Structure 1
Amino acid sequence: MENIIIISGNVKYTITLDPGVWIFDDRRVDLTTYFSTKRENANSLEEYTKVVSKHWDREIMEGAIYPPTLKSEKKFEKEKVLTGTFGIPLKPFLTNSEPASDAQTFVIHCKDGEHEYPLETAYDLLLGFSNKGKPLKVDGPIHVYLGDGSNQHSPIKNVTGFSIK
Structure 2
Amino acid sequence: MELIIPITGNVKHAITLDPTVWIFDDRRIDLDVFFTEEFVEKDEMEEYKEKMGKHWSREIMEGATYPPTIRSEKRYEKDKMLTSSFAVVLQPFLRNAVPSANATTFTLITKDNEKYTYPLAEAANILFKFSHEGKPLREDGPVHVLFKDGSNQDSPIRHVQAIQVD
TM-score, structure 1 as length reference: 0.91
Counting only pairs closer than 5 Å after superposition, residues 131-146 of structure 1 correspond to structure 2 as 131-146=132-147
**Does 2:109 correspond to 1:109?**
yes
Report what 2:165 is aligned to: 164
Consecutive unaligned residues in structure 2, runs of 5 or more = none
Given residue 155 of structure 2, which amino acid in structure 1 is its aligned partner? Answer: S
Q: Is 1:28 matched up with 2:28?
A: yes
Task: Indicate the percent of aligned positions where both proteins have the same amino acid.
Answer: 53
**Larger CA deviation: 143-152 vs 47-56:** 47-56
Query: 3-state SS of the aligned residue for 1:51?
Result: helix
Secondary structure at 2:125 match in 1: coil
Would you say the 8 A contact 1:94–1:123 is kept in 2? no
Aligned to 1:148: 149
Kindly state the Cα deviation for residue 38 of structure 1 after the two structures are TM-superposed. 5.8
Correspondences of 1:6-155 after superposition (within 5 Å): 6-37=6-37, 40=40, 42-112=42-112, 113-155=114-156
SS at match of 1:123: helix
Gaps of 5+ in 1: none
Contact 1:109–1:162 (CA under 8 A) maintained in structure 2: yes
Superposed CA offset, 1:144-165 (max 9, x none) = 1112221111111001011110
Tell me the CA shift for residue 2 of structure 1: 1.2
What is the root-mean-square deviation in Å for CA atoms of aligned residues?
1.7
Is the 2:89–2:123 Cα contact (8 Å) retained in structure 1?
Answer: no
> What whole-Å deviation, never above 9, does each CA across 1:66-122 have from its counterpart, x for those lacking one?
222222111100000011111111121111111111111110010121111111112
Separation in structure 1 between the aligned mates of residue 100 and residue 41 of structure 2, nearest angstrom? 25
TM-score for the superposition, normalised by structure 2: 0.91
Is the Cα contact below 8 Å between 1:104 and 1:119 reproduced in 2? Answer: yes
Letter in 2 for 1:128: K
Q: Output the CA distance in 2 between the equivalents of 1:40 and 1:109.
A: 31
Q: Write the distance in 1 (CA, Å) between the matches of 2:154 and 2:3.
A: 22
